């Protein structure tokens, strides 16, 4: 990389020098849960806070992260994540534990085989092309709300690949309900963490509940329709409505719990369909949005990527065989997910007495894995706040310890969609950069806000010029 280029330090969170307590903690947590992580979290292996009777541990060293996510995972469960998301996602794959989780994971796994995923590349490119067509209709250099547009495009991708029977009505319902649900996010996370009962009144609760009902009923309707068609015809058959696809919905409908022999009932199917809709599009949309912002701020990397994409594709639409040769595009994506991890923090609850780094941990303690802070740890990353995709050049990436870079989590609960997301983001980013140039809007830099995903606070407007 050219060392003469100016260093880019994009927007970051200013951590409090000391742990916050009382009202200051509550106010910061509701505004942005990442703002309660004190500076020590970016410098030490383990930081312990006592909040009333609740022990809260911030875990950042690779060895301790591995203990929580892999070696001692039975002692650390997803209770507060489940409490936060269960009203929406029930007890699907993301929000269940133990045997209930395992068979749902096994039932979904065949959809994510690498060779099958490559077949989705044309769908990734098509969804991006329709977004570009929309932008093309606007005046040159018009400001576009990139974050909103990326959410639409990645939603189209999930609908076209894993769940092809979804229609536009479901799309609109998902988008609207998701906004309502996110609005309730800050309080929801706080209540989940404090162990408050789900029925306790709180701001945003009504809108969150309305969003949940809308979303679940849209997906239930879609499922009923599909059940009726499958009962009439069987999968893979040509019908008056078209061919019944062998998609994620079909696989989930066919799956059997190895212990009980039972298949999923409608509620479990809706739980999982919604999980894949939401986990599968919001996250990739965030990754793409933050990446476009970084590229808009770095003309040097914009030029490097443009050259690579032209060299690899020869100006043709991106195809599956191009993906592994888009090395620098993937480096930039990885660096973007280091600075702005789409899932900024994971949490687990301790369910059996244990020790971490010599500290005794009581059942009920909350263990936070602040991915955002782990990715900017001052002892583990050189100039952690600087945007430098060179960190992920092959020879450098090999030296990064496994549990120090975790955009997709780790251990058995690692993101099932990781390979899908990397292919999707690479194909979509390359297609966007082939056809468009991005520039920041002065005074409108986004700041990172932790909800379930890392949102760009203030939105993410960029000036877009089509090539």
Q: Which two tokens stand for residue 136?
A: 């093309």
CB of 397 to ligand HEM, least distance (A): 17
For residue 141, the tally of other CB atoms under 10 A from its CB is: 11
DSSP string over 443-467: T---EEEESSSEEEET--EEEEEE-
CB of 239 to ligand HEM, least distance (A): 26
Distances (CA, A) of 82 to 65, 94, 97, 336: 20, 8, 9, 28
CB of 135 to ligand HEM, least distance (A): 22
What is the sign, positive or negative, of the torsion defined by CA atoms of 150, 152, 155, 161? negative
- Binding residues for ligand HEM, rule: CB under 6 A, are 78, 81, 93-94, 105, 162, 275-276, 279-280, 283-284, 287, 342-343, 346, 407-409, 413, 415-417, 420-421
CB of 3 to ligand HEM, least distance (A): 30
Residue listed under structure tokens 């089509």: 466
CB of 416 to ligand HEM, least distance (A): 5
CB of 440 to ligand HEM, least distance (A): 22
Distances (CA, A) of 169 to 147, 150, 234, 327: 21, 18, 25, 38
Collapsing DSSP to helix, strand or coil, 227 comes out as helix
Alpha carbon distance 272, 66 (integer Å): 27
CA 354 centroid distance within chain: 30
Q: Which residue is nearest to ligand HEM (CB)?
A: 417
Of 166 and 279, CB closest to ligand HEM: 279
Residue listed under structure tokens 């297609």: 431
Q: In 262-374, where do the E strands start and end?
A: 346-350, 354-356, 359-361, 366-369
The single-letter DSSP state of residue 68 is I
Of 283 and 331, CB closest to ligand HEM: 283
Residue listed under structure tokens 């319902």: 173
Residue listed under structure tokens 């500290």: 359
Of 66 and 437, CB closest to ligand HEM: 66
Of 20 and 326, CB closest to ligand HEM: 326
Of 148 and 210, CB closest to ligand HEM: 148
Alpha carbon distance 243, 248 (integer Å): 15
Phi (first) and psi of residue 266, to 5 degrees = -60, -40
CB of 254 to ligand HEM, least distance (A): 18
Of 296 and 346, CB closest to ligand HEM: 346
CB of 147 to ligand HEM, least distance (A): 14
Alpha carbon distance 163, 143 (integer Å): 32
Alpha carbon distance 117, 155 (integer Å): 17
CB of 314 to ligand HEM, least distance (A): 28
CB of 127 to ligand HEM, least distance (A): 13
Of 229 and 295, CB closest to ligand HEM: 295
Of 77 and 300, CB closest to ligand HEM: 77
Alpha carbon distance 426, 9 (integer Å): 23
- Asked whether 170 and 222 are in contact (CB, 8 A), the reply is yes
CB of 81 to ligand HEM, least distance (A): 6
- What is the C-alpha end-to-end distance of the chain, expressed in Å? 26
Alpha carbon distance 287, 147 (integer Å): 10
- Asked whether 374 and 339 are in contact (CB, 8 A), the reply is no
Of 105 and 227, CB closest to ligand HEM: 105
């Amino acid at each position: 990389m050219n060392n003469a280029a100016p260093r880019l330090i994009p927007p970051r969170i200013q951590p409090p020098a000391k742990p916050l307590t009382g009202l200051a903690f509550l106010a910061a947590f509701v505004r942005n849960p990442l703002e309660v992580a004190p500076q020590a979290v970016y410098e030490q292996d383990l930081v312990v806070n006592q909040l009333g009777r609740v022990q809260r541990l911030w875990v950042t060293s690779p060895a301790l992260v591995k203990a929580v996510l892999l070696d001692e995972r039975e002692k650390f469960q997803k209770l507060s994540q489940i409490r936060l998301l269960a009203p929406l996602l029930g007890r699907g794959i993301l929000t269940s534990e133990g045997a209930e989780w395992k068979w749902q994971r096994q039932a979904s796994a065949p959809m994510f085989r690498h060779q099958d995923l490559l077949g989705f590349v044309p769908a990734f490119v098509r969804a991006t092309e329709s977004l570009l067509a929309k932008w093309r209709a606007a005046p040159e250099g018009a400001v576009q709300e990139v974050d909103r547009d990326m959410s639409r495009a990645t939603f189209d991708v999930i609908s076209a690949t894993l769940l092809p029977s979804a229609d536009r009505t479901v799309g609109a319902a998902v988008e609207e309900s998701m906004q309502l649900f996110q609005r309730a996010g800050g309080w929801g996370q706080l209540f989940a963490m404090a162990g408050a009962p789900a029925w306790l009144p709180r701001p945003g609760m009504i809108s969150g509940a309305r969003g949940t009902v809308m979303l679940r009923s849209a997906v239930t309707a879609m499922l009923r329709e599909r059940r009726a068609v499958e009962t009439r015809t069987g999968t893979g058959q040509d019908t008056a409505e078209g061919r019944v696809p062998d998609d994620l919905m079909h696989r989930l409908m066919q799956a059997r719990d190895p212990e009980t022999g039972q298949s999923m009932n409608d509620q479990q199917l809706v739980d999982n369909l919604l999980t894949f809709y939401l986990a599968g599009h919001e996250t990739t949309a965030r990754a793409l949005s933050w990446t476009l912002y970084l590229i808009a701020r770095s003309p040097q990397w914009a030029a490097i990527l443009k050259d690579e994409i032209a060299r690899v594709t020869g100006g043709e639409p991106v195809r599956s065989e191009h993906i592994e040769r888009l090395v620098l595009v993937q480096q930039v994506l990885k660096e973007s997910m280091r600075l702005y991890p789409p899932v900024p923090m994971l949490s687990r609850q301790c369910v059996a007495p244990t020790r971490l780094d010599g500290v005794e941990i009581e059942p009920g303690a909350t263990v936070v894995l602040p991915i955002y802070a782990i990715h900017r740890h001052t002892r583990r990353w050189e100039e952690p706040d600087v945007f430098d995709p060179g960190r992920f050049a092959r020879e450098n990436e090999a030296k990064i310890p496994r549990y120090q870079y975790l955009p997709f989590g780790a251990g058995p609960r690692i993101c099932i969609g990781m390979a899908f997301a990397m292919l999707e983001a690479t194909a979509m980013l390359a297609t966007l950069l082939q056809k468009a140039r991005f520039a920041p809007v002065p005074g409108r830099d986004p700041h990172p806000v932790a909800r379930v995903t890392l949102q760009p606070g203030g939105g993410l407007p960029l000036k877009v010029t089509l090539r």
